[in-house]
């Protein structure tokens, strides 16, 4: 339990911080990607194709949680002779996504400003 005597390695620290950084970003990416209707597996592939790989065990429960928050709508539909649950961004989700993107851009600008100032010193 004594973390002081056994500090985490640099890769461990990076992984932990990367996870924190990605957590919020993934939600924005999922909401944005669901402006077009997808079911779980094709959504995961679409995100991976855009360079944002996400584990199934993270994505699928996230979709249900976002639906519970009424940011997504879903419907079961048959495709290729199989029933699949398709998700799409709801009007409320669109509104939240707009706000999140504004926040995202604001944070991005601030971080860029900080980096520029620190580079000048």
Partner 1 sequence: MTANQPTSDLLARYLQAIGDHLPAATRDDVLAELRANLQAQLDDRAEELNRPLTDAEVAAILKDHGRPIVVAARYLPQQYLIGPAIFPYYLMTLRKATPFVLIIGFLAESSRLLNVHNLSELIAGIFVSLGQLIPDLLFFAFWVTLAFAIAEYAYSQNHAKPFGLSWNPTKLPALKPQFKGKSRASRIADLIFHCLWMVYVLEIPTHPYLILGPGELYLHMLNARPAPIWHLFYAAVVFMLFFQLVTKITALVVPAGIWQTPLNFATKILGVLFNAWVALTNVYFVPAGPATNLESLAAVNYWMNIGFRIFLVFSILDLIVEAWKLRPSFQAKRLVF
Residue of 32, 60, 73, 88 interacting with partner 1 (CB under 8 A): 60
Residue of 29, 42, 73, 104 interacting with partner 1 (CB under 8 A): 42
Residue 6 has a CB neighbour count (10 Å cut-off) of: 8
40 lines the binding site for partner 1 (CB under 8 A): yes
2 lines the binding site for partner 1 (CB under 8 A): yes
What is the spatial distance between Cα 86 and Cα 79, in angstroms, rounded to a whole number? 10
Cβ 40 to partner 1 shortest distance, Å: 4
Cβ 1 to partner 1 shortest distance, Å: 5
Question: Tokens 């973390």 appear where?
Answer: 3
88 lines the binding site for partner 1 (CB under 8 A): no
Q: Could you tell me which stretch among 21-29, 40-48, 95-103, 110-118 binds partner 1 (CB under 8 A)?
A: 40-48
Q: Could you tell me which stretch among 22-30, 51-59, 101-109, 110-118 binds partner 1 (CB under 8 A)?
A: 51-59
CB 6 within 8 A of CB 51: no
What is the spatial distance between Cα 73 and Cα 55, in angstroms, rounded to a whole number? 21
User: Please, what's the b/e burial string for 12-28 (b: 16 or more CB within 10 A of its CB; e: otherwise)?
Assistant: eeeeeeeeeeeeeebbe
Task: For 119, list phi and psi in degrees, rounded to 5.
Answer: -70, -35
Residue of 26, 52, 73, 85 interacting with partner 1 (CB under 8 A): 85
């Amino acid at each position: 339990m004594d973390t002081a005597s056994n500090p985490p390695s640099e890769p461990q620290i990076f992984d932990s911080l990367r996870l924190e950084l990605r957590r919020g970003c993934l939600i924005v990416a999922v909401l944005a990607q669901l402006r077009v209707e997808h079911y779980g597996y094709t959504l995961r592939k679409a995100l991976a194709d855009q360079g944002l790989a996400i584990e199934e065990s993270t994505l699928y429960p996230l979709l249900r949680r976002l639906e519970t928050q009424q940011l997504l709508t879903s419907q079961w539909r048959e495709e290729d002779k199989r029933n699949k649950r398709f998700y799409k961004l709801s009007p409320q989700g669109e509104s939240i996504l707009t706000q999140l993107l504004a926040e995202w851009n604001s944070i991005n600008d601030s971080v860029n400003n900080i980096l520029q100032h620190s580079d000048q010193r």
